[in-house]
Amino acid sequence: MPSDNHRAFIGIGSNQGDPVFQVRSAIKAIAQAADISLEQTSSLYLSPPMGPSDQPNYVNAVAMISTSHDSFQLLTCLQGIERDHGRIRSIKRWGPRTLDLDILLFGTESIDTETLRIPHEGLTERPFVVVPLSEIAPDLTLPNGECVSDLAARMQSQTLTRLRED
């Protein structure tokens, strides 16, 4: 990885339309985006929704990328992919969505603005993020000093179902 590139981890989720298709399509779109190299992706996982339970389960995955974008350029790129997949942003927090792309980690950056928070808020508390992240980067140390595989081992992964690849 050239020194001007940044390693980032992207959380991917969908529970509308055909969620498996949406997640796979998003991974392809990320891989085809300018100035982004898709390094690795996790398996797909089925998980219950956060927040309102009167919505379908989510399909989630995590992608590891390398990019020459800065974190805000990457955010803009990912929001464009969300829009291309029919995402309509609403004020309803944790509502159903065709596609949700979150920057979980961006190099060693810590950012806390109105539009972007890195590490992603709640990262260490969400099995649907931690388990797939530990699958592709088990030795990753989070900014809080915790190893992602140790964190995943303590999570209640019974709330997740790993989907079989076709």
Q: Which fold has domain 6-162?
A: Alpha-Beta Plaits (3.30.70)
Sign of CA dihedral 113, 115, 117, 122: positive
**Residue 106 CA: distances (Å) to CA of 7, 10, 64, 68:** 6, 9, 10, 11
Beta bridge partner(s), residue 8: 65, 106
130 DSSP 8-state letter: H
As a whole number of angstroms, the distance between CA 81 and CA 103 comes to 13
As a whole number of angstroms, the distance between CA 40 and CA 19 comes to 20
158 DSSP 8-state letter: G
The pLDDT tens digits along the chain (166 residues) read: 445 799 999 999 999 889 999 999 999 999 999 999 999 999 999 999 887 777 899 999 999 999 999 999 999 999 999 988 877 766 555 667 889 999 999 999 999 998 999 999 888 989 999 999 999 999 999 988 999 999 999 886 668 899 987 6
Which positions ≥6 away from 95 have C-beta within 8 Å? 51, 52, 55
Report the catalytic residues.
Answer: 87, 97, 100, 102
